Chain A
Amino acid sequence: MKTDRVNLISGAMFATFGVLALLLSADLPAGSAARMGPGYFPRVLGFLLIAFGLLVAFAARRSEGGEELRIAWRPLASLTLAIVLFSVLLPRAGLLLTLLAMCAVSRAARPEYSWRETLVLSAAVTVLCAAVFHYGLGVQMPMWPVSGQE
């Protein structure tokens, strides 16, 4: 009998989160049921999560086959990088440069990459977002590189 990898990984993931919850709430006083401390509910949930994680993993041993786990690394990496870039750059480089960089990086998610299209698209998105959010809705963001700090 084959083991269903997807369910095995899911179960392990849930159990790990459960253990994490228990570890992180270990210092919190639990109190009693009548006078619950801040640690009571997290601990109950932590144990429950471990139990259900094991149940999912255990069920995986019984089910056959299962889907193949295929991860699209390219979009995953480029989008995550683009967002991280946004959070790092925005306070320092300002909205315009940040958006240009973000669009350029996120475009790498698709294989059909063309420099011209990316440039035009990045510029369009940047102008549009600046117009709508900064000037239209008045969202407070630095527009240009912040100088003289740090």
Chain B
Amino acid sequence: MELLSNLALGFSVALTVKNVLYCFIGTLIGTLVGVLPGLGPVATIALLLPLTYSLEPTTALIMLAGIYYGAQYGGSTTAILVNLPGETSSVVTAIDGYQMARRGRAGTALLTAALGSFFAGTVGTLLIAAFAPPLATLALTFGPAEYFALMVVGLIAAVVMARGSIVKAIAMVILGLLLGLVGTDVQSGTERFTLNIPELMDGIDFVVVAMGLFGIAEIINNLETREEEREVFTEGKQKLKLWHFTREDFRRAWPATLRGTALGSVLGILPGGGAVLGSFASYMLEKKISPDPSRFGNGAIEGVAGPESANNAGAQTSFIPMLTLGLPANAIMAIMVGALTIHNIQPGPQIMSANPALFWGLIASMWVGNLLLVILNLPLIGLWVKLLSVKYRLLYPAILAICAIGVYSVSNSAFLVLMMAIFGVLGYAFSKLGCEPAPLLLGFVLGPMMEEYLRRALTLSRGDPTVFVTRPLSAALLAVAVLMLAAMMAPMWARRREEAFQED
């Protein structure tokens, strides 16, 4: 069977000593970052990107992917133990997980999260292996019009997923597209928006934007709020009973894990999805079908098992659109695209035939990484909890220094560091103004590609813009984008109408 031979190739790549080692390092750093509040996975991956330049592309990607799902994992640990979601996808885990911890069942909650995640990760890996090839085959039939439409879908999805105002999110996408155009125009060789600064001729470096908007701005935001005392369930106060898992727990958690995995996998594939959507949807589903919904919010084990499985499955399957279509579904996948391009690999349908070892190796490594996480974390939970007591004021100067050195090392240029400062200030302004940076980052990554496909499509149609709606696949994709947007706007209009009626 082809699937098996592909997976065999993948495991032969993923199980080399070097790749297992970097996978381990990646998951370890990821967990660390997930546990430590104040540095999200996006910033971390951006931060460590320059350090992977010297690695082989496969190894570099394996490590970066490890950071991604490792951070998901670490995020749930803190969500359960301190009611502090390390990142957005563990927000719902905190609801019931923390309540379980308060009732002395922290160990059970952590174990549920770990095993649920591992199961979901396994399923997610198999799904990528099964669905990526047919999707890539389909994508190979795409012309420029379809690609352009596809990118529109991706960007709209990012807009829909953003918190807050849709109009602002669209404006952020456009701003990102514009920033992506800085540099030399590929077709005419003309310099655009470079202000005659030689460093800008090749465009703004991706790492600078990501690090400034996500890293520096995040540090400033964190420093704004005072450090609070939190109720931490460490071993001192309360012994973690890790293997305390009753038959009743199992009976409740198992079906929730299955449902969460299914839901997360599907939502992860959708552009704009990723891990966040799945965990929220799974929590709502569990609560809805539960015979006793009042248990939720008071330590229901299903409320941990479902969302945790869903977010891990989603984290895994969100690689599908990135790898097969070259379309990043979220900010982290945008960084992955950046990482691939730095290694001169064009993400997209060709990647599977041009680079089978990289493609299948990465997928196999995800399963290896998930296994490593379970082995690594269960015994080390006590250590991770201790890390939480590190004061942020002792931590941030080091994070800042690493950011600066990381950006400097991209091309040994102090100018880039200066630009990071500018994007840091900009990022802080965005957060104050309620504008989310993730859509901007996606726009920034897709900008040059989008212009390229728009140009090609319109050249082929001799300037006729109807080409986007007369080709069936392109029209269907654009229809999806419009539907997504309409679905999002509908409640807003309804509210407006209500407001209007009230004023009458």
Judge whether A35 and B459 touch: CB under 8 Å: yes
Binary flags per residue of B288-322, CB closer than 8 Å to A gives 1, else 0? 00000000000000000000000000000000000
How many residue pairs, one in A and one in B, have C-beta atoms under 8 Å apart?
179
Q: Is B254 located at the chain interface by the 8 A CB criterion?
A: no
Chief secondary structure at chain A's binding surface:
helix
B175 closest partner in A (C-beta): A17
Judge whether B434 and A6 touch: CB under 8 Å: yes
Q: Is B428 located at the chain interface by the 8 A CB criterion?
A: yes
Judge whether A122 and B397 touch: CB under 8 Å: yes
Contact partners of A75 in chain B: CB under 8 A? 219-220, 223-224
Contact partners of A76 in chain B: CB under 8 A? 220, 425, 428
B51 closest partner in A (C-beta): A137
Judge whether A72 and B224 touch: CB under 8 Å: yes
Q: Is B142 located at the chain interface by the 8 A CB criterion?
A: no
Contact partners of A117 in chain B: CB under 8 A? 394
Judge whether B421 and A80 touch: CB under 8 Å: yes
- Interface positions of A from 91 to 134, Cβ below 8 Å from B: 91, 95, 99, 102-103, 106-107, 109-110, 112, 117, 121-122, 125, 128-129, 133
Q: Is A146 located at the chain interface by the 8 A CB criterion?
A: no
Contact partners of B417 in chain A: CB under 8 A? 83, 86-87, 90
Q: Is A41 located at the chain interface by the 8 A CB criterion?
A: yes
Q: How many residues of A contact B (CB 8 A)?
A: 67
How far does the alpha carbon of A9 sit from the alpha carbon of B434 in the complex, in Å? Answer: 11
Q: Is A25 located at the chain interface by the 8 A CB criterion?
A: yes
A89 closest partner in B (C-beta): B414
B43 CB → nearest A CB, Å: 14
Binary flags per residue of A18-43, CB closer than 8 Å to B gives 1, else 0? 00010011001100111111100110
How far does the alpha carbon of A59 sit from the alpha carbon of B495 in the complex, in Å? Answer: 14
How far does the alpha carbon of A55 sit from the alpha carbon of B171 in the complex, in Å? Answer: 10
A25 CB → nearest B CB, Å: 7
Judge whether B181 and A41 touch: CB under 8 Å: yes
Q: Is B284 located at the chain interface by the 8 A CB criterion?
A: no
Binary flags per residue of B416-439, CB closer than 8 Å to A gives 1, else 0? 011011001100110011110000
Judge whether A79 and B219 touch: CB under 8 Å: yes
Contact partners of B409 in chain A: CB under 8 A? 133, 139-141
How far does the alpha carbon of A117 sit from the alpha carbon of B391 in the complex, in Å? Answer: 12
B50 closest partner in A (C-beta): A139
Contact partners of A69 in chain B: CB under 8 A? 432
Judge whether B433 and A10 touch: CB under 8 Å: yes
B397 closest partner in A (C-beta): A103
A37 closest partner in B (C-beta): B188
Contact partners of A86 in chain B: CB under 8 A? 404, 408, 414, 417
Binary flags per residue of B387-420, CB closer than 8 Å to A gives 1, else 0? 0000001101110111111001100101101101
Judge whether B425 and A141 touch: CB under 8 Å: no
- Interface positions of B from 450 to 504, Cβ below 8 Å from A: 451, 454-455, 458-459, 461-465
Q: Is B375 located at the chain interface by the 8 A CB criterion?
A: no
Of B174, B195, B464, the contact of A45 (CB 8 Å cutoff): B174
Contact partners of B193 in chain A: CB under 8 A? 21, 24-25, 42
Interface stretch among B70-78, B108-116, B162-170, B326-334?
B162-170
B435 closest partner in A (C-beta): A10
Contact partners of A53 in chain B: CB under 8 A? 171
Contact partners of B402 in chain A: CB under 8 A? 129
Contact partners of B165 in chain A: CB under 8 A? 7, 56, 59
Interface residues on B, range: 35 or more
Q: Is A143 located at the chain interface by the 8 A CB criterion?
A: no
- Interface positions of A from 2 to 17, Cβ below 8 Å from B: 6-7, 9-10, 13-14, 17
Which of B178, B192, B414 neighbours the largest number of chain A CB atoms within 10 Å of its CB? B178
Of B224, B400, B454, the contact of A83 (CB 8 Å cutoff): B400
A42 CB → nearest B CB, Å: 6
How far does the alpha carbon of A112 sit from the alpha carbon of B167 in the complex, in Å? Answer: 40
How far does the alpha carbon of A83 sit from the alpha carbon of B223 in the complex, in Å? Answer: 16
Judge whether B400 and A33 touch: CB under 8 Å: no
A33 closest partner in B (C-beta): B463
Q: Is B190 located at the chain interface by the 8 A CB criterion?
A: yes
Contact partners of A125 in chain B: CB under 8 A? 397-398, 401
How far does the alpha carbon of A7 sit from the alpha carbon of B429 in the complex, in Å? Answer: 12
Q: Is B216 located at the chain interface by the 8 A CB criterion?
A: yes
With known contacts A13-B433, A34-B462, A80–B168 Cβ distance under 8 A: no
Contact partners of A84 in chain B: CB under 8 A? 418, 421
How far does the alpha carbon of A9 sit from the alpha carbon of B108 in the complex, in Å? Answer: 48
Contact partners of A14 in chain B: CB under 8 A? 168, 171, 174-175
With known contacts A14-B171, A45-B178, A79-B220, A34–B458 Cβ distance under 8 A: yes
A64 closest partner in B (C-beta): B499
Of A59, A83, A88, A121, the contact of B394 (CB 8 Å cutoff): A121
B211 CB → nearest A CB, Å: 10
Q: Is B187 located at the chain interface by the 8 A CB criterion?
A: yes
A36 CB → nearest B CB, Å: 5
Judge whether B168 and A10 touch: CB under 8 Å: yes
Q: Is B177 located at the chain interface by the 8 A CB criterion?
A: yes
B366 CB → nearest A CB, Å: 25
A41 closest partner in B (C-beta): B451
How far does the alpha carbon of A95 sit from the alpha carbon of B412 in the complex, in Å? Answer: 13
How far does the alpha carbon of A10 sit from the alpha carbon of B168 in the complex, in Å? Answer: 8
Task: Other than A38-B188, A52-B171, give 7 A-B pairs with Cβ distance below 8 A.
Answer: A29-B188, A33-B465, A41-B181, A49-B174, A83-B418, A102-B404, A110-B393
22 interchain pairs, CB-CB under 8 A = A6-B432, A14-B175, A21-B193, A24-B193, A34-B462, A36-B454, A36-B458, A38-B192, A41-B454, A49-B174, A52-B174, A72-B220, A72-B223, A75-B219, A79-B220, A79-B400, A83-B400, A87-B418, A90-B408, A102-B400, A102-B401, A103-B397
